[in-house]
Copies of this chain bind each other. A is one copy, B any other.
Amino acid sequence: MTANRFDAPLLLSRLAAIIGEAAVVTDTAAMSAYLAEPRDLYHGRALCVLKPASASEVARILALCNESGTAVTPQGGNTGLVGGQTPDESGAGVVLSLERLKKRRHIDAAADAMTLEAGVTLLEAQEAASSVDRYFPLSLASEGSCAIGGNLATNAGGVHVLAYGSMRDLVLGIEVALADGRLLSTLGALRKDNTGYDLTRLFVGSEGTLGVITAATLKLFPRPRSRAVAFLGLSDPAQALDLLAFVKSRAGPSLHAFELVSRIGLDLVLKHIPGARDPLAQAHKWYALVEIAAFSAGEAERLCAEILAAAHEAGLAEDATLAQSLEQAKELWRLRENLSEAQKREGGSIKHDISVPVNAIPQFIAEAGRRLREAIPDARPVPFGHMGDGNLHYNVSQPVGGDKAAFLSRWDEVNGIVHGLVAECHGSISAEHGIGRLKRDLLRETKDAVALDAMRAIKKALDPKGILNPGVLL
């Protein structure tokens, strides 16, 4: 662990000498927003919050912190869900906010690439792509406030991974400040570069433990000219799996999203979200939301309608509706996107972000439900999410009318049941949210021991004093 070799006043004055006094925040009220994370699971303390304005300032901060043995917690939009952006409670370290690194350094439609600094929000990145008639596909609930630096650090996923992959797949190069204060760059618009180890993707997803990403060159894609969104009523997850294979074989990469929703999930949305309405005439036990995109006007709607008709004929759906307008498409998406919020309003909910091989989803849902009912007879599993990626947000709502605190006190037990089954299915205990502080111990228990050792060896090689985000991930 780190041990501060400077006293606080000396460190603060040297930090101020690098980035200016105004950028070294020590006021308790001004710091508070940086010391807690959105779900209030973690609160930390810090000597100060630093707000450098450039990559070279970030690098010089790290050089100083490395010299002094000061722990550094990098922070983007502070929207992460596993506590990876929150310092520990010692108060001896610093929070390094990237919020002032906002430059759009280079946006180049002809090269299908844009180089943005870490503090640019995901929404701003999407807009930068649109401004040159291109598409940047990463899309997730917090896109208005999360920063691409954080998206990179956590290898963010979201609703279009099925077609475009997660952040590791969307990045061409990065600029990263190393623990010793040097800047490493793989920035650039090269689509192919076979000159050594894939450092870019090593840093992406390392949760700020190997370096602090200050900028990235992101891939741009052709802008889809048409989109179709359908909502299908299904009998069970096995039918959803058959439907997924069917749609993939007919749509190929035009399939942009395949989300699974349960009846209980839809009921919670209808109950708690104003304006939500059931898009199908009858109730079904399960639903799939399917999005198809294409590159000429009307083509997505044509292809989607054709696939829906064929799927119906093949007995792969009980009913279906195809959005007839952009507004209807948004309404269908809102049903899916409000599942978390609706569950929150319903009471206590114990959450999991897991993945299994796509074809294991039906047996996973069945068996997890069975084991949970055995432990807590009235618990209500509300599995939903990115079925096309094998990624479920397997969230369990408290029994109707039960005591919220009593239910939440069984968090570890419920986690144990769900993660135990994940292990049996050769799945992952973190599909897209990362490890952070929340799953650090769980990682130790579940990850291949040799892989863990290799990660530790790499961590030690690149951050020998352990100043970068201690307590997170490893």
Residues of A within 8 A of B (CB): 108, 110-113, 154-155, 157, 161-163, 165-166, 168-169, 178, 182-186, 188-199, 201-202, 204-206, 210, 221-224, 241, 245, 248-254, 293-296, 355-360, 386, 388-391, 426-435, 439, 443, 446-448, 450-455, 457-458, 460-462, 473-474
The complex places the Cα of A161 from the Cα of B474 at a distance, in Å, of: 34
Q: Which of B111, B205, B390, B446 contacts A194 (CB 8 A)?
A: B205
Q: Which of B253, B357, B388, B448 contacts A108 (CB 8 A)?
A: B357
Closest 3 CB pairs of A and B: A110-B359, A189-B357, A253-B253
A182 closest partner in B (C-beta)? B450
* Smallest CB separation, A143 vs chain B (Å): 18
A241 closest partner in B (C-beta)? B110
A427 closest partner in B (C-beta)? B190
A194 touches B428 (CB 8 A): yes
The complex places the Cα of A198 from the Cα of B200 at a distance, in Å, of: 10
Q: Which of B166, B192, B296, B431 contacts A389 (CB 8 A)?
A: B192
The complex places the Cα of A360 from the Cα of B189 at a distance, in Å, of: 10
A192 touches B455 (CB 8 A): no
The complex places the Cα of A161 from the Cα of B188 at a distance, in Å, of: 18
Report the copy number of this chain in the oligomer.
Answer: 2
B358 touches A432 (CB 8 A): no
B168 touches A295 (CB 8 A): no
Q: Which of B161, B199, B430 contacts A195 (CB 8 A)?
A: B430
* Smallest CB separation, A124 vs chain B (Å): 23
* Smallest CB separation, A126 vs chain B (Å): 17
B454 touches A184 (CB 8 A): yes
* Smallest CB separation, A257 vs chain B (Å): 13
A196 closest partner in B (C-beta)? B455
Which B residues are in CB contact (< 8 Å) with A169? 165, 169
* Smallest CB separation, A424 vs chain B (Å): 13
- Beyond the given pairs A168-B201, A190-B390, A192-B355, 18 more chain A to chain B contacts, judged by CB atoms under 8 angstroms and listed by A's residue number, are A112-B248, A178-B454, A185-B450, A186-B451, A189-B357, A190-B357, A192-B389, A193-B428, A195-B443, A196-B443, A197-B202, A197-B206, A198-B202, A199-B451, A199-B454, A223-B249, A224-B252, A252-B254
A295 touches B252 (CB 8 A): yes
Which B residues are in CB contact (< 8 Å) with A439? 195
B252 touches A197 (CB 8 A): no
Which B residues are in CB contact (< 8 Å) with A210? 197
The complex places the Cα of A391 from the Cα of B189 at a distance, in Å, of: 12
* Smallest CB separation, A471 vs chain B (Å): 15
Q: Which of B113, B189, B198, B473 contacts A201 (CB 8 A)?
A: B198
A295 touches B359 (CB 8 A): no
B204 touches A448 (CB 8 A): no
* Smallest CB separation, A450 vs chain B (Å): 4
Which B residues are in CB contact (< 8 Å) with A293? 252
Which B residues are in CB contact (< 8 Å) with A165? 169
A155 closest partner in B (C-beta)? B194
Which B residues are in CB contact (< 8 Å) with A108? 357, 359
The complex places the Cα of A433 from the Cα of B196 at a distance, in Å, of: 11
Which B residues are in CB contact (< 8 Å) with A224? 252
* Smallest CB separation, A316 vs chain B (Å): 15
* Smallest CB separation, A82 vs chain B (Å): 9
B110 touches A358 (CB 8 A): yes
The complex places the Cα of A205 from the Cα of B200 at a distance, in Å, of: 13
Which B residues are in CB contact (< 8 Å) with A248? 112, 222
* Smallest CB separation, A85 vs chain B (Å): 15
Q: Which of B197, B252, B460 contacts A294 (CB 8 A)?
A: B252
The complex places the Cα of A186 from the Cα of B357 at a distance, in Å, of: 13
